[in-house]
Structure 1
Amino acid sequence: MDGQGKTHTCKHVFSRFRDLGREQVNVELQLHTTWTDGQATVLEILQTARERGLGALAFTEHVREDTAWFPDFKTEVLSAAGAFDDIRVCVGCETKAMDDQGRLDVSQSVLDACDIVLGVVHRLPDGKGGYLDFKQLSFEETAEIEFRLSLGMIAKAPIDVLGHPGGMSLRRHGRFPEEYFRALMTSTLERRIAIEINSSYLVDMPAFLALCEEINPYVSIGSDAHRLSELGRCRDQLLELGIGRS
């Protein structure tokens, strides 16, 4: 099967948490290459993924509404993937929330070209076309705004995955309210959207996994890999914690 044939959809890889086995965990569904802010090429990623025995990859580059290079990026990924029939390769994007109504910083043409769309919170819009200054916001303010932006994407945005939930609060304050995580998991489950287990952002992986066990949402496995050394890191952490060993 050629690269084109392997990239029709990645949605089948999203399992509910309690159904995760070795095959479902043995994936890397958030990674970045030199097309954006990653440090490895598409080919280097594929070669390293094969060496580490990964079964599926999603190339999820950062995009904006004015991104013009996506067709060339997709062509390169599909061309390179043709030599890696042992790895299921998907083309996707990571795009940020622009308001709490689900508007994304991405064009329709890019959405149409993707197998998988990760919706994330990277900035906190001020409602006037700009962004709030994280330094001027308390933990409570940051978390509440991030929560509203995330709920807006879950409810209205054309996303497959809520990427690194609570990530801005976790990066800047080292925490995100449990009740917010719980509400986001419940909402993604209702919409059949995956919530990401992201080893790059989660400061308390066991606590997050305990909530996953309780709520049993659809989950996506992502390391937010920007370097070859990070590829498959989330898989490895989950296996160490006893998730997906069967």
Structure 2
Amino acid sequence: MTTIAIANNTDTKNPNKPYQFRCFRDLQWSDINCDLHMHTSWTDGKARVSDILQLSVQKGLSCVAFTEHVRKSTNWFPEFVQEVRSYAEAYPQLRVLVGCEAKALDTNGGFDVSEEILAECDLVLGSVHRFPNGQGGYINVSRLTLEEFAQIEFELALGLLKFAPIDVLAHPGGMYSRLHDEFPTDFMRELMKVSLERKIAVEINTYYLRNLPNFLELCAEINPYVSIGSDVHRLEQLANCRDQLHGLGVGAP
């Protein structure tokens, strides 16, 4: 059974125990019974930290990660960390991680997060949310062909995997799938292969994926390390990824 310990992740109850990601074909119920991608009212989410923690326990989750959007200029992160860790003390049965989600700035691993924020995090998600134009602005994606769009997103994600200090590649191909259709299989396969080589988890993100069964087939083929994330912005989304995977038999004995 193959696992990877993410070095900068710490268990709030045992600082010496890192978080363990597992390869897809080795997943058990305990590995999917979590939600490792959530946003609260600190950024663009609608729920409070306390509400999410309470519902997480009600839903029987064993581990959650608060992964707010950040930038290099973000100055509120220490207060956010303090709030999460303070509320987490009331739920000793739940493992609570503090993390962030930051976006790619270029194809060379440029990453929009400060060293101070990274030092506070148990879990770091890297994502592609916009296409930088190299001049401080962003490409107008409406002018791109489907092939150009997919190629740019692929190259930005590849840069994160190869060069950025991330634990998880969040919603790979997510921009393309949200605006167009399923991300090209050849690009996704290559991202999974590189993620496996780099020992970085690929996120199974049910908020962005157009075709979950197809994505899982590719996971079964490449067998990358995977992270489970519903990309929670509203309370009703909590544990959606776990529940969909369970419904498809992932993690079953």
Normalised by the size of structure 2, how large is the TM-score?
A: 0.94
1:175 Cα shift? 1.9
Listed one character per residue, the Cα deviations across residues 77-131 of structure 1 (whole Å, up to 9, x for unaligned) are 0000001111100000000000000011111100111010000000001111110
1:139 Cα shift? 1.2
CA contact (8 A) 1:49 1:231 kept: yes
Listed one character per residue, the Cα deviations across residues 121-176 of structure 1 (whole Å, up to 9, x for unaligned) are 00001111110011111211111000000110100000000000000000111121
CA contact (8 A) 1:27 1:221 kept: yes
- Residue in 1 aligned with 2:66? 59
CA contact (8 A) 1:28 1:56 kept: yes
Distance in 2, matches of 1:216 and 1:161, equals: 15
Name the SS for the 1:14 alignment partner.
strand
Whether 1:107 and 2:114 are equivalent positions in the alignment is yes
- Given the alignment, which residue of 29, 34, 42 partners 1:35? 42
**Structure 1 residues 1-246: aligned runs within 5 Å:** 5-6=12-13, 8=15, 11-246=18-253
Query: Unaligned regions of 5+ residues in structure 2, if any?
Result: 1-9
Name the SS for the 2:118 alignment partner.
helix
Distance in 1, matches of 2:21 and 2:187, equals: 22
- Tell me the C-alpha RMSD between the 2 structures: 1.4
CA contact (8 A) 2:11 2:18 kept: no
Amino acid at match of 1:34: S
Distance in 1, matches of 2:11 and 2:95, equals: 11
Amino acid at match of 1:122: H
More helix by share: 1
Amino acid at match of 2:151: E
CA contact (8 A) 1:7 1:90 kept: no
Percent of aligned positions with the same letter in both sequences? Answer: 54
Aligned length: 244
Distance in 1, matches of 2:66 and 2:124, equals: 10
1:7 Cα shift? 7.2
CA contact (8 A) 1:10 1:115 kept: no
Distance in 2, matches of 1:234 and 1:140, equals: 29
1:214 Cα shift? 0.8
List 4+ stretches of structure 1 deviating above 6 A.
none
Is the alpha carbon distance of 1:7 and 1:65 closer, same or farther for their aligned partners in structure 2, counting shifts above 3 Å? farther
Listed one character per residue, the Cα deviations across residues 167-220 of structure 1 (whole Å, up to 9, x for unaligned) are 000011112110011000000000000000000011110010001001100000
Question: Could you tell which deviates more after superposition, 201-210 or 3-12?
Answer: 3-12
Listed one character per residue, the Cα deviations across residues 33-57 of structure 1 (whole Å, up to 9, x for unaligned) are 0000111100000000001000000
Is the alpha carbon distance of 1:9 and 1:16 closer, same or farther for their aligned partners in structure 2, counting shifts above 3 Å? farther
CA contact (8 A) 2:36 2:66 kept: yes
CA contact (8 A) 1:119 1:161 kept: yes
Distance in 1, matches of 2:212 and 2:132, equals: 28
Distance in 1, matches of 2:237 and 2:152, equals: 29
CA contact (8 A) 1:60 1:93 kept: yes
1:245 Cα shift? 2.2
Query: Unaligned regions of 5+ residues in structure 1, if any?
Result: none
